[in-house]
Amino acid sequence: MWQSSGKYQPRVDQLKKVAPAIIDMGCFDRVETNGGAFEQVNLLYGENPNIAVRKWTAPFNKAGIQTHMLERGLNAIRMNPVPADVRELMFKVKKAQGVDIARSFCGLNDHRNLKLSVEYAKKWGMISQAALSITSSPVHTVAYYMDVVDHLVEYGADEICLKDMAGVGRPSSLGKLTREIKKKYPHIIIQYHGHSGPGFSPASMLEVARAGADYIDVAVEPLSWGKVHPDIITIREMLRADGFLVKDLNMDAYMEVRKLTQEFIDDFLGYWIDPQNKAMTSLLVGCGLPGGMMGSMMADLRPFLGAINGAGKTAGRDKMTLDTLMVKLFDEVQYVWPKLGYPPLVTPFSQYVKNTALMNLLSVIQGKERWTTIDKDTWGMILGKSGKLPGPLAPEIIEKAKENNFEFYTGNPQDMYPDELPKFRQMMKEEGWDCGQDDEELFQLAMHERQYRDYKSGIAKERFNAELEELRAKAGAPIVIKRPVVEMPEFSIEEYTQKYPKAVPVQVSVKGQLLWEIDLDDESKAPVVGTAVKAGKAIGYVQTYYGREEIISAIDGRIVAVTGKQGKNVAKGEIVAFVQ
């Protein structure tokens, strides 16, 4: 519930407080306890995720309720590929920490990326639940998914999860897929995980239940529905009315879980929950974007609106509202998605498709061709470095790759990432750090090196507390702010578009310290008015707590104005220069 609602999740003391009430509800056979977001979040607010997982799973283990985690196959529990030896250590550690089931998914449904997940889970005594990333497209047919299932069963998967991350799977198709799996593999357990965003999920849950699914994922108010899952009360009553035997629900315990969840939101978690995550919208049906990324997407669109309107004014177009831009983006995602081979829109591929659609919108408004700007991560997906795309690439994308002299990769993605554990063991030794019980501290360093180092140094805790104090201060709480709030500078974009009618804004993608020093045209200096820049090439950096993020120009041209001062803090989406 929390992962789909906001940036952070409850602290370990809060999790221990709510666990008895969840158990007392009496209706759950399984509880999702951890995964990529959970572990990184603990590190981000300066806590040890190993302690959190052990303490959180313990009461469920004692009560006989199975615990399960979510992992991303090749990417394990981070956003980029992980060496095989680190992946294996994860399953050893998580089993030792009390996690029973490993739900493993590949965002491209490339079964090769899940083979090691299945094998490692079983080797270390976990139940292997291999997931299908569900979406709706001409290539994502029942036959397509059954081919993936055949490989997963061959590898030894104990269960199959229908991971309907955007909730766009059509109920009838999901029912057919469930029947086919049960017919061919009657021993395989099936679990359905469907989000509520576009509204299909209750119908889908009923269809898969009728077709033989064994488990259904639900949520509890005040986080149920919206972009999360349907509430346990509604789904339980729906299934009872259809003749299913379902466990009783202790309503006193339900209300306690509901009360505690709201208490955690009021304490600090609510500061990072976008209000729009409580709303369902049928606009998600067409674009297929997962509800969990809608909050961050809307935050990205607000500053981007200025750049769009600035370019549109030059072309004599009317100003867009945020809602108009959102609909145009959804339309562009629908256009881009098949051209890029129909990657299921789940992390990180949903972000790649969305970002490409945004850049296409800007290019079209400027009167330029689509596909002018494609970032390196998206190119990695296109070129096969993350796995095999479900559908064929459009001819214009293949032509773009040829123009850039890019080579397509058809091998097993895992082969590109050699083992690294010996290197991290040496790091632990050099730092004087203990590898921890069951090598769990070694695992955290190897999986999340930057975040783990920040946790160990105390920087993560300090940074989180400062961010929380800022948000509380903005909300009116009497908290002393320990560092200045980064706000957008007061200047009018119209002033610059009038002065430079063909200029395009350059925006930063993250908040941090502005660093203009960069080697441009063999000259190591800050860019000044007249400096030549290339589309897609860095013209500066933003120094964040985790490293440097590039500042990219969307077009070829020359800098006509610099609005961001060297060394100053900048906000996400802030315009720091204009290029013409």
Given a cut of 80, whether residue 528 has pLDDT beyond it is: no
Q: Give mean pLDDT, residues 134-138.
A: 94
Higher pLDDT, 358 or 497: 358
pLDDT of residue 117: 98
Residue 364: both structure tokens together: 């079209």
Query: How sure is the predictor about 539, in pLDDT bands with cuts at 50, 70 and 90?
Result: confident
Q: At what angle do helices 440-447 and 49-63 cross, to 10 degrees?
A: 120
Buried b (16+ CB within 10 A) or exposed e, 360-374: bbbbbbbebebbbbb
Q: How far apart are CA 511 and CA 299, in angstroms?
A: 13
CATH architecture of the region 493-579: Beta Barrel (2.40)
Closest of 24, 27, 75, 5 to residue 447, by C-alpha: 75
Element (H, E) at 251: helix 251-267
Q: At what angle do helices 201-211 and 232-241 cross, to 10 degrees?
A: 40
Average of per-residue pLDDT values in the chain = 88
Higher pLDDT, 541 or 91: 91
Residue 328: both structure tokens together: 């145009």
**Contact by Cβ (8 Å): 116, 414:** yes
Least confident piece of the model among 141-155, 434-448, 561-575? 561-575
Query: How sure is the predictor about 526, in pLDDT bands with cuts at 50, 70 and 90?
Result: low
Q: Which residues contact 4 (CB under 8 A, 6 or more apart)?
A: 195, 227, 228, 229, 277, 291, 292
Q: Is the dihedral of CA 153, 156, 162, 164 positive or negative?
A: negative
Closest of 229, 217, 298 to residue 5, by C-alpha: 229
Residue extent(s) of CATH 3.20.20.70 domains in the chain: 12-274
Query: How sure is the predictor about 298, in pLDDT bands with cuts at 50, 70 and 90?
Result: low
DSSP-derived secondary structure for 307-354: HHHHHHHHTTPPPPPHHHHHHHHHHHHHHHHHHTT---S-TTHHHHHH
Q: Give mean pLDDT, residues 355-381.
A: 86
Q: How far apart are CA 99 and CA 31, in angstroms?
A: 10
Amino acid, single-letter form, for residue 140? H
Query: How sure is the predictor about 484, in pLDDT bands with cuts at 50, 70 and 90?
Result: very low
Tell me how far the alpha carbon of residue 548 is from its chain's centroid.
Answer: 20
Least confident piece of the model among 120-124, 429-433, 545-549? 545-549
Q: Give mean pLDDT, residues 528-555.
A: 78
CATH class of 12-274: alpha beta
The pLDDT tens digits of the residues spanning 154-197 come to: 999 999 999 999 899 999 999 999 999 999 999 999 999 999 99
**Contact by Cβ (8 Å): 136, 171:** no
